[in-house]
C-alpha cells in the first residue's frame, strides 16, 4: 500500500535504477530525477488509484511511471529513446491555473467561456475513456459552482469523458 506521493516516488526511483542499468531504458532514466509525484483517482469501475511520477533531466521529461497505490508496484513505465527527445507535456498541478484562459478551445474545436472566479476544486482523475486510453494521460477535473472542464495532462481540454467500460459519459 502506497499512502503518499513520497512513497510512490521512492518506489519509482528504485524502478528507475533498475531500468537505467538496461541499455534500452538508459537514455530515459540514467541521470534523471523525479520532479513530480501526483496522486490520481481512478474512476473506472473496479480500477485502483495510482500515482504518476515524472522524471526529468535538463528540464525535459524523459521518463514517466504509474505506481499502483494498492500494490505499490510500478505498473507502467515509459521513456524517451534518443537524447534529444522529450515525452509529451506534463502539466504540473501548480500550472493548471495558467492554462485556464477566459476562452478555452476544446479538443473537438468548440470554444467555451469559463467563469472568471476561482475553481471550487481541481481533482486529478482518470477513467478508461476515448479521451485518454492510458493511465499515463490523466485529467485535471476543474470544477466551478455550475460548470467544469477536463484538462488532460498534455494540455488538451474536454467538456466530457466518454467511458469505454459501458458506463454513461461523464460530463464535466
Partner 1 sequence: MPCTRLNVPRVQQIDDDSCGPACAQMILLALHLVRDGSDDVQRALGKEIQQSTKSAKVETTERCAKPPALEWATHPVGLQRTLNAHIKPKATEVIPSAEEDTAAGHALRSVKRGIAAAALVSDATHWIVVFGCEHSTRRELPTLELNGDPVTHILVRDPALSGFPVRMTLDEWTAGLYRVKCGKFNQKCIVVGAR
Cell of 14: 528504485
Stretch that binds partner 1, among 51-59, 72-80, 98-106, 143-151 (CB under 8 A): 72-80
Burial class (CB in 10 A: 0-12, 13-18, 19+), 112: middle
Looking at residues 84 to 103 of the shown chain, list those that interact with partner 1 (rule: CB under 8 A): 87-88
- Is position 134 an interface residue for partner 1 (rule: CB under 8 A)? yes
Residues 140-159 that bind partner 1 (CB under 8 A): none
Q: Does 83 bind partner 1 (CB under 8 A)?
A: no
CA distances from 31 to 28, 34, 55, 155 (A): 8, 10, 9, 27
Closest among 161, 159, 120, 117 to 137, alpha carbons compared:
161
Q: Is 22 in the site for partner 1 (CB under 8 A)?
A: yes
Neighbours of 156 (CB within 10 A): 18
Kindly tell me which of 13 and 104 has the beta carbon lying closer to partner 1.
Answer: 13
Q: Which of 8, 43, 52, 77 binds partner 1 (CB under 8 A)?
A: 77
* Of 2-10, 31-39, 133-141, 142-150: span binding partner 1 (CB under 8 A): 133-141
C-alpha cell at 127: 477513467
Out of 130, 155, 169, 171, name the contact with partner 1 by CB under 8 A: 130
Amino acid at each position: 500500500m502506497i499512502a503518499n506521493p513520497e512513497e510512490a516516488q521512492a518506489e519509482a526511483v528504485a524502478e528507475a535504477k533498475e531500468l537505467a542499468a538496461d541499455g534500452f531504458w538508459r537514455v530515459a532514466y540514467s541521470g534523471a530525477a523525479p520532479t513530480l509525484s501526483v496522486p490520481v483517482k481512478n474512476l473506472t469501475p473496479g480500477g485502483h488509484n495510482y500515482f504518476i511520477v515524472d522524471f526529468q533531466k535538463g528540464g525535459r521529461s524523459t521518463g514517466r511511471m504509474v505506481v499502483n497505490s494498492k500494490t505499490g508496484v510500478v505498473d507502467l513505465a515509459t521513456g524517451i529513446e534518443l537524447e534529444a527527445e522529450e515525452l509529451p507535456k506534463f502539466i504540473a498541478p501548480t500550472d493548471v491555473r495558467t492554462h485556464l484562459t477566459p476562452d478555452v478551445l476544446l479538443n473537438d474545436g468548440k470554444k467555451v467561456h469559463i467563469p472568471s472566479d476561482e475553481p471550487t476544486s481541481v481533482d486529478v482523475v482518470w477513467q478508461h475513456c476515448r479521451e485518454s486510453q492510458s493511465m499515463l494521460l490523466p485529467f485535471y477535473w476543474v470544477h466551478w459552482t455550475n460548470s467544469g472542464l477536463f484538462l488532460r495532462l498534455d494540455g488538451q481540454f474536454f467538456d466530457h469523458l466518454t467511458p469505454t467500460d459501458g458506463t454513461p459519459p461523464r460530463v464535466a
